[in-house]
Amino acid sequence: MKLLNNILILFIFVFVGCSSLNKIQYQKTDLQKLNLKGKLKSFEYFTYSPIVNENIGVKKNKRVEGVLKNYKVIFNEQGNKLRVNEYSLDGKVRYITKHKYNQKGQKIEEIGFDSEGILEKRTFKYDEKNRLNKVFFYNPKELEMKCVYEYDLKNKQLKYSFYDLDNKENFIFEYIEKYDKKQNVIEIVEYNVNHKLKLKTLFEYNKNQDKILAKRYNSYKELKNTFSYKYEKYDAKGNWVKQVVCKNDVPIEIVERKFEYFE
């Protein structure tokens, strides 16, 4: 299912991949979720393959093609996303996601489309405490899936449960989270359709609250992969502009970000 694949890619982007998203999401702006500083207007994100040389170290090579590898995020003045443009290698926009909010500043809709039209839509519902409660996924008009959120007494998001709605409501998979004292996600456990452990990921952060390590363990509690994140440069606001990603100590990506701030 294409939609399911997109959801999995989104979760990898959010929690394990090159994003800095690591904060509890209850009543946080997108800038806070992404651990971004300053009154940011937009940022561009580009991924390159690495060249490893004993004399010069790790240098960037060619731009990498793929979902959420090259994009631009545009924010409103409240610090929430308005639009995300994904680019192909020739610099053309190949996919756009637009975000809509209610008067409380809560996200109520995301629409994803390309040059041929709308491909997917997500709607967001909130509980009586104004916490995100459910997300419904459409492809593009038919309801296919929903995600249900659960919280603890401190309003921390503890669990995301996904259900297939093609025919009847069937559980698909879920994620359960744990946090440190600084509200960073330090553990995500994924359970499969049978509610059995599928994958556990542990995270570590630097003093800037940027993710520096992610260790993935399989259902047998064996270490599957280790991802490390090295930040070579920060801007004047304290946002990283260059990141080297390694998988099992081998460089696999170099990421560069370019920021534009409101005056």
- The structural domain count of the chain equals 1
- pLDDT the model gives residue 6: 57
- State the average pLDDT over residues 97-120: 93
pLDDT at res. 195: 93
- Would the pLDDT of 199 be above 80? yes
Rounded Cα gap, residues 38 and 27, in angstroms: 18
| Percent of the residues in the chain that have a pLDDT greater than 70, as a whole number | 89
Give me the count of residues in the chain. Answer: 263
Structure confidence by residue, pLDDT tens digits, 70-97: 999 999 999 999 999 999 999 899 999 9
Residue 185 token pair: 């996600």
What is the CATH classification number for the domain harbouring 135?
2.40.160
Question: How far is CA 123 from its chain centroid?
Answer: 17
38 has a pLDDT exceeding 50? yes
Cα 152 versus chain centre, distance: 22
Residue pair 80/29 in contact (Cβ under 8 Å)? The answer is yes
Taking alpha carbons only, the member of 195, 194, 211, 193 closest to residue 203 is: 211
Supply the range of the domain harboring residue 10.
Answer: 2-261
**110 vs 21, which has greater pLDDT?**
110
pLDDT one-digit tens code per residue, 144-184: 999 999 988 777 768 999 999 976 889 999 999 998 888 88
Q: For residue 64, give the DSSP letter.
A: P
| Cβ(204)–Cβ(212) below 8 Å | yes
Provide mean pLDDT across the span 21-41: 79
Q: 48 CB contacts (<8 Å, ≥6 apart)?
A: 60, 61, 62, 63, 64, 253, 254, 255, 256
